[in-house]
Structures are given as structure tokens and as C-alpha cells.
Structure 1
């Protein structure tokens, strides 16, 4: 269990002084030294959003937002979006079109959690390229956050920061999950005024884990673009989706069990499964890794569409260790005889949360 240092405790008190009362204006954020680049388009941590990346976002006047479905946009309450306001989807921005969304009503909002759910109507046909988050975090431990340097789930956001206004049409920023405290989620992706209301998603499975609501520095304040990404006092923060989901009947309807209802008929993984080989010859073993939510790993020989424990030759592995937010498994026997296998990660209730099919080929001299 992570225990906050006195320094972090002071940070949480500072955050609560902002987040536990209504937020009326776009609040404080930080850009990190690692985000700066001499390249006109930026670097891997912060850059002009690509045609694919821009589809995750919505331009809300002075803020950002994210489409949850063709009818609903999530943004920050302090952005003060109202019925009749017009918004631009990522597709509209990419094609340099006019605003293509109109807010018909503010369906839900909360000053305490600083979010608004907006019902919208399209002013054009819904673009086929638009994407929606397939999952949302319904529990704090859906995301692995740690104060350790260069660790924590990788996360990203796409929005409209004021320091890039007129330079990039939209900005992609990435970092890592650093801490969770009640309803607050802390991360070190570089965002600034104008990013407020944007969604924070995991890079691994595109799970929506947080909004962007605040940080330490305002645009132009001394140090606003000089932050150390490992300094807890500079981490940006937002409302965790688990807190919004808990109190929002509409979000529960849109994401039953955390899965986007628009994708309810397709499998939406909570984790990817990674594998590696160790040893040689008959002492060779597989190591597998999945997210910490996985309690066991099911292995079926061959490429099986419906891998179950009852499948002929199936093996069930129990996790050996948890490190850096992932469960690790070791195969029970040498995999030399296996050339194809199907993997399924299971949670504590036995429900699948990840799956993968693998084809192995022997290299020369092996």
C-alpha cells in the first residue's frame, strides 16, 4: 500500500482546497522539461496530434472534452459549457471544418467532482473516423500509479493547451500515472490552461481514467514550463472516472460494468498479455505478464476461439508475483512442443479481462 510522504500530504491538502469547492475558472497546470523540443512538431512526450490521435478529443470553448458516444461529451464543470454552445470534433479540426456539434442540454454536472456530461447533436453526419473510449476506470486500482521514478501506467491526453494555440491544431501529451487519492488522480503528462476537461486514457488499452482539472502553475507563471516530472508538487491532476461513475446514473448507463455500451457486443480487454522465453532446451520456460487485476492465466494449445479450462490440454497458471502493477506467471513445463497457443487473463471472479493468440517460430540455430 502506498503511504504518502509529508510532502505529498501537503500537496493533497492544497488540491483539496481547490477541488473540494466549486471551480469557476480554468485552473493550474504544468509543462515538464522533458516535454520541450527544438522540433516544430514536438517530441514523443508532447507533440502536434496526428490524424489518428486527434480523433480522441473535442474542442470546447477555452477547454477540451472527450466524446463518450455519438450523443454525449464529458468535460470539466468549470469550463461552464451551456446549451446552445457549439463544439468541434477531432474530425472537424482535422478537416478544418466548422463546429459540428451543438450542446442540446447539460445532462449532468457536479461542482464537487468538477465534471459536466453534455448531450449533443451532430450538425453533420457522424464521421466514421470518430473513436470513443472502450472502457472507463470504475475502481482506483484499475490503473497502476506509483511515486517511483519512470514507473506507473503510461497515460495520454489530446487537447487544446493555450501555449500551442495557433501553432498546433491539437496537442498530444503523455506521461505516467503517479498517485491516486480518493477521487483525485495524479499524472505527469504536460498540460496547461485549455487542456481542462480533456480525457486522460491509458496507452495500453485506451481506458478513460480521468478528466484534466488542475495542477500547480498557470500559463506564464514563473516555472510553468520548467517542471520536473518526478516532483510530486508539480503533478497535474483530475477527477478519477471511478468517482464520477459512482454518482452518475448516466455514466453507469453509458458504461455498464465499465464497458462502453456502444461496444458491448465485442470484447474490450482490460489488459494486454506479454510473454517471454527464458532458459534453453528442456529447461526453457515461458513467462507471462498481465495487469495486476488478473488472478490467473489460462493457456490453451492451438489457436482457439473459445479457450476454457475444460478445453483439451488447457493449463491454468496462478500468478507468481506482482511487480510494477503487473501479475507475472511462469509456465508449468517446457513450451518446446508448443507452436501455437491461446492465452486468456482472468480476474478474481474468473471473467476474462485479456486475451491473445500466439504463433511461435524457431529461429536459426535454436
Structure 2
């Protein structure tokens, strides 16, 4: 690898790592003022834990050896603590980039349980989720596993599942786990439409800006250093601008129609919806289709976040509406409009079929495992804080801190 390629790989890893503190700001501004420390700590706790697990065995689990279609994950003890990579500069840099994806995926889940979760129980869940869900799914999608082999196994010549930077492995995965946790932990005190509002809108917008900035490392970094000149990094970059921009317009249009006024929270959410949707498809769409994808995701995700009130599950910060729904839209869209292989762009139904199979498989697997793990935690050490502690405020009860110490 040349020096320019190595520099871009390391910068991309740093950009994606920055996304998790950005997520902490985004989530932290959304909750009540007496829960902001707790909410942000769920992201920072994920950073500490997942990096350690990745170095110990996650790196080894996230790629399979051989060509067997049925391998679950790599051997966690094959290169324990990355011993064999000590002298492999390129391998270490690539692994660092992979670690940042594991961190942000785990942290995303925490938005579903804002205002009511024990930190210690979250850390248990985060460690098990990373081990049993994220690391194996990453192996399926990018590490030579069954999703990578699906098109060939089904006899579709030249067809592979398109998940460029994490529609299934990151967003559907996190969204399905978030739905499971929201169901297990139940509703917050006072859960009702219009009751629970963001306590710090500027903090949400700062978080959105950091996430969008980091997303260029997320998507363009996944292009790989070998393809920076001959590949399509320029296309990926412009699509990572186009989709969230259109997502903003789609979301605030629905707000304007439904409520009579667009909101800054809606604009931020629309940007995230577009970013989520473009993630798997950023390298296989023309900018025009990226604009359409972003707009559609902004509209549909805006409508989807209302489902929690109709269906009765308390997904506190709309992880399901943004990441599960947005991830599904973005993962299926290439089956319709990807270069040459999309149903409406020169291909047939083969691309669409493998996209749907991969998306549904990850959704079901992540939901089932997360539901079982969360249920076990809830029935043993307890996952949810006491009702009176929730009313008093998670920050003081769990962490002994307050987000805002005002002078008197």
C-alpha cells in the first residue's frame, strides 16, 4: 500500500470513530435533561468495551476461513489479541477501520432504551451483542461468509449481495436489536406522543453534523485504498452528500404537510435517514438515484417513527424508524436500481432477491438473539432501573452526576 492509501485508511478509521461521540451528542440532546449523562455514557461505554473485545477476538471472528457456505464466524482464538498482526502495518490499519464499525453498530442500539436502562446491564448486553451478533454478521457480509457467497450459491452468475458499508451488518442489525430491547424493557414513564421532547436541540444538531462528517469515512473509506484512483470514491462521496440532503427535504416536507411546520429535529432526522439508506448502495447508484433514495427514505422514515405509538413499543430515539426502516430501504434499493444488475437498470429479479434474503436473515437473527439475551439479563440482574429512579433521573441515580450544574 502506498503512503497516500495508508493515510486515507487511517483518516477514515478516525472519522468513523468520531461518529460514536457524534452519536452520543445526537442521542444525548434527544433525551430528558436528567438523562443526558446516562445516554451519552451508553455510547462511550460501547467504545471502551467493543474496542477491547475486537482486539481480543472480534477481529478473528469477523472473517471466515475456507469456502464453506455454512461457517458461522471465524475462530475467536485464531489470532487472539492480534498477535500475528504486530508486524503487519496494513493489516492493523484495516482492522482498526473494521473495529470502528463494530463500535458504532453496538452504540446505535442504545437509543431504544433511553431514560430507563442500567449501565451495567447495558454493558453486559453490548458485550454479548458484539460477540454473538455483530462479529458473526460482519463475517457473513464482508468476511467471506454465506451472504457474500449467496448469489453464487443460488446460481446467479455475476450477482453478489450489495452491502457496501453496512445496510445489513450495521443498520438493519442495530435496528432489529433495538426493537427487541424496546419490547423487553417496556415503555418509559409518561410514554405518550408529544410528551417526551428533546431537551437540547443544538446538541442534536452538533451530533448530526459530526455523524454526517464521519460518514464520509464510513462510506468512502470502505472503497479501499487500492481503488482510490481506479474505483469510484468520487461517486461515493457525492452520493453521501446527495442522499442525506434529499432526506432532509423529504422529512421536513412530511412535517410541513402533517403538522404545519418543519422542525430542526426533523431536518436532522431526515439527514440521518438519508445517510442510513445510502450506506449499502453508495457505490452502485448514479447521483440521481441517490437523490431519489434519500428523499424516499426521508419520507418513509418520518412516517415510520409514528408506528411506535400505534404498535405500543417505546423505541425512545427512533432507532427502529431510522435504522431498521432506513437500512431495509437502502439494502433493497440496489435490487431495483444498481448499475446493470438492478431490476429497472438492465438486470432481472436476481439482485433484488438476494438483497431481500440477506436483509430478512440479518433482521430475524439479530432480533431473536437480542431478544433472548435482553430477556435473560432482565430476569436475572435486571435491565431496567426502578420506576422511582426513572422519575428521579437516571444521571444522578446511576452515575452520580448531572448534565447541567447551574450556578446559584
TM-score where L is the length of structure 2: 0.22
Higher percent of residues as strand = 1
Which is bigger in relative contact order (C-alpha 8 A, separation at least 6)?
A: 2
